[in-house]
Structure 1
Amino acid sequence: MTVAVTGASGQLGRLVVEALLREGASPIVAIVRDPSKVADLAERGVDVRQASYDDPASLDRALDGVDRVLLISGNEFGERVAQHTNVIRAAERAGVELLAYTSIPRANDNPLVLAREHIGTEAVLASSTVPYALLRNGWYWENYLGGLAHAVESGVLHGAAGEGRVAGAARADYAEAAAKVLTTDGHAGQVYELGGDERLTYAELAQAISTAAGKQVDYRNLSEADYAAALQQAGLPAEYATVLADADSGIAQGVLDVTSGDLQKLLGRPSTPAVEVFRAALA
């Protein structure tokens, strides 16, 4: 059985390939725009194929002979539904037996700006002929690493999540779950709402940072508008700051508080605690 991973040079994609290697999957196809970025994987026996989400012909070549594929959502906001559709159509033409897609929790009614293109992609999948599984990945603890050093230095974690809880997990946890779906049977038609064991408020998140850093960090809640302004002042582009502030507002509403247990069932173990991710990053 040939298993392929799109976006295999990215942070999640590379972790999925590593998980597949640990699972003993073979052959493994790594689909990337720049093969030089995964030369080390090629040296380990991974079949590296060059393709772009914008180039249907390259996707046809990349998916030739593939049985199962993980479509990792792209990062070009505003273009993703069209790009993902290109992959889905190529999977149809290739006769792929399963396409797994990395979506977002509760995509059917998720109000986040980030959810819009996932909703659009899920609609394309629903009308396609390729069997598929939805991996609705929750928040990565790594999403907080960009502001980790500043939080430790200043002693303050800023956000706009109020008392909302986020059921995060390590990126590697979601990668391992994806590898399980690609290498085991019975996943076609399944919708997995994936979130970690820990369901932390931002005050509890600040405490996890405190434990990892050995220094007290407290949470300071801001309005969505003030948080977006603070992110822009810190140097983030306005559009990205707006998306992050919107995500925090969604957390306040419980959008990312996933309680299904699906991630743990796929992993066969608990998810990685936030403090472990923060401690590793600070080390």
Structure 2
Amino acid sequence: MNLAGNYTGSIGTAVANHAVLGCAGNGRIAATARKDYAAAAAAALAGENQAGKVYELAGDESFNLTEFAAEIARQSGKAVEYRNLSAAEYEAALIGFGLPARFAALLADSKTGASKGGVFDDSKQLSTLIGRPTRSLSEAVKLAIATPPAPGPH
């Protein structure tokens, strides 16, 4: 789960439209920053006795999309709410934004999985592996708001 890309990449759109769209209901998401995943990869590659080990790489802090929208609103100073759609409505919205239909279906399926606990884990295996707490939702939103999007189509 990559908080940096999968969620914070849409913050500009969320602020502009005053909404985070999804179909995850109140599902908890245990995501963190890309740097935490990179640190985990380095630790696993450099560590001894790693052959065959499987880690659940989840952030220490979980959130739902209502909390994500509230954090965006808090830090941006703009009204942002979470709009929970049906999977079909969310998929149609993504297609309307220009995503290919197959990719939109994949994302809608992923968000539906989040509503069923598919992206939640509280084992803290990632922070144990990297030897420090993972980055928080607040940190990730702050960085995303402070970093303008790269030039090009979005």
Both proteins in one fold, TM over 0.5:
yes
Bigger proportion of residues as strand: 1
Q: For the pair shown, which has the larger CA radius of gyration, 1 or 2?
A: 1
**3-state DSSP of counterpart to 1:192:** coil
Note the C-alpha offset of 1:216. Answer: 2.5
- The residue identity in structure 1 corresponding to 2:115 is A
Residue 84 (structure 2) pairs with residue 221 (structure 1): yes
- The residue identity in structure 2 corresponding to 1:180 is A
Note the C-alpha offset of 1:258. Answer: 1.3
- The residue identity in structure 2 corresponding to 1:264 is S
> Normalised by the size of structure 1, how large is the TM-score?
0.50
**3-state DSSP of counterpart to 2:56:** strand
Residue 102 (structure 2) pairs with residue 239 (structure 1): yes
Aligned residue pair count: 146
Distance in 2 (CA, whole Å) between partners of 1:167 and 1:214 is 25
User: Which among 29, 38, 50 is matched to residue 187 of structure 1?
Assistant: 50
Identity %: 44
Q: Deviations over 1:238-265 (max 9, x none)?
A: 1111111110000001011012211010
Distance in 2 (CA, whole Å) between partners of 1:142 and 1:270 is 19
Structure 2 alignment gaps of length 5 or more? 147-154
Structure 1 alignment gaps of length 5 or more? 1-137
Contact 2:9–2:144 (Cα < 8 Å) also in 1: no
Distance in 2 (CA, whole Å) between partners of 1:171 and 1:212 is 21
Contact 2:15–2:72 (Cα < 8 Å) also in 1: yes
Residue 93 (structure 2) pairs with residue 230 (structure 1): yes
Q: Taking CA–CA contacts closer than 8 Å with sequence separation of 6 or more, which of the two structures ends up with the larger relative contact order?
A: 2
In angstroms, what is the RMSD of aligned CA positions? Answer: 1.3
> Normalised by the size of structure 2, how large is the TM-score?
0.89
Distance in 1 (CA, whole Å) between partners of 2:45 and 2:124 is 19
Distance in 2 (CA, whole Å) between partners of 1:241 and 1:187 is 36
Residue 85 (structure 2) pairs with residue 208 (structure 1): no
Q: Which residue of 1 aligns with 2:39?
A: 176
Contact 2:56–2:121 (Cα < 8 Å) also in 1: yes
Q: Deviations over 1:175-227 (max 9, x none)?
A: 00110111121211211011001111110111121233222311110000100
